[in-house]
Structure formats: C-alpha cells, structure tokens
C-alpha cells in the first residue's frame, strides 16, 4: 500500500501552481500507468481533513473532535493498493508518484493476506466466509 502523506501547510495550488484539473490529470496518468502494468488493485483520495473527525481513546468515553485538528504534522491524503512482487518494486512506483516535492511523503506498507492469519481462529473463519460470499476471494 502506498499511503500519500503531506504536511498541513502543503497546498498544491500554491506549492506547485497546480489547478484541480492539473492534479486530476497527473493522478489519472499515474493510475493509468499502474493499470497498464497490471499492478493497481485499488486507489482512493480522501476528503479535506477539515471535513473529518478524530476519535481519541485517551479517556472514557472517547473524545470526538471535528477537523481541522489542532497540531497536525502530517495528513493522510489517499492511498494506492498495488499487487507487486517486492518492496523494491513498490518503492519504484512510489518514486514515480505525482505531486511529489517538499512537504509530501509516501509511506509503503505491506497488506497481509488473510491466508497469513491463524486459519483455526473463529474470527478469521468468519471473515474468510464473508470475503468468499462477496466475491473478494
């Protein structure tokens, strides 16, 4: 999974002089490359953090805070899930991501397969049945 992160201050229109159409064009081209290469499984962007909420479990009951948030160093902006042979291949795709520059990072994390979890666990069995029933397996 390639996870797009940016600092709160990063603004694509200001930082790179990009319009929303420019952003859609560059993301679309990158997604199309991954589709053509047969590695893209899923991709989504996220709404502005100001529209989100945070549920903080530091107290009971949990505290819910509307965005924008107080002190935020990095915001999660979207993701791509790729089916690649290695971490190195994922890194190569991440290096080609659009909108790269100061204030932008892409985190790479492996998404384990359900087959890697204990198959005798009742919750794993229920999830496997759900995935099979919905055509995900």
Q: How far is CA 46 from the centre of its chain?
A: 8
Distance CA 20, CA 13 (A): 8
* pTM for the predicted model, two decimal places: 0.79
Retrieve residue 21's tokens: 């159409």
Domain ranges of the chain: 2-133
**What is the Cα–Cα distance from 75 to 36, expressed in whole angstroms?**
29
Q: In this structure, what token pair is assigned to residue 99?
A: 């909108």
Specify the range with the lowest mean pLDDT, choosing from 38-47, 59-68, 71-80, 118-127.
Answer: 71-80
CB contact set of 129 (below 8 Å; sequence gap of 6+): none
Tell me what pLDDT residue 70 has. Answer: 58
CATH superfamily of 2-133: Dimeric alpha+beta barrel (3.30.70.1060)
Kindly state the tokens that stand for 76.
Answer: 């999660």
């Amino acid at each position: 999974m390639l996870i797009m992160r940016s600092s709160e201050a990063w603004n694509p229109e200001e930082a790179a002089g990009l319009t929303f159409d420019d952003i859609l064009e560059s993301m679309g081209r990158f997604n199309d490359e991954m589709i053509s290469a047969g590695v893209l499984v899923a991709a989504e962007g996220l709404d502005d953090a100001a529209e989100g909420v945070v549920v903080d479990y530091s107290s009971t009951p949990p505290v819910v805070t509307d965005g924008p948030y107080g002190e935020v160093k990095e915001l999660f902006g979207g993701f791509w899930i790729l089916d690649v042979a290695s971490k190195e291949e994922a890194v190569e795709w991440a290096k080609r991501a659009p909108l790269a520059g100061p204030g932008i990072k892409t985190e790479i994390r492996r998404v384990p397969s359900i087959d890697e979890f204990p198959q005798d666990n009742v919750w794993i069995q229920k999830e496997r049945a759900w995935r099979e029933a919905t055509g995900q397996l």
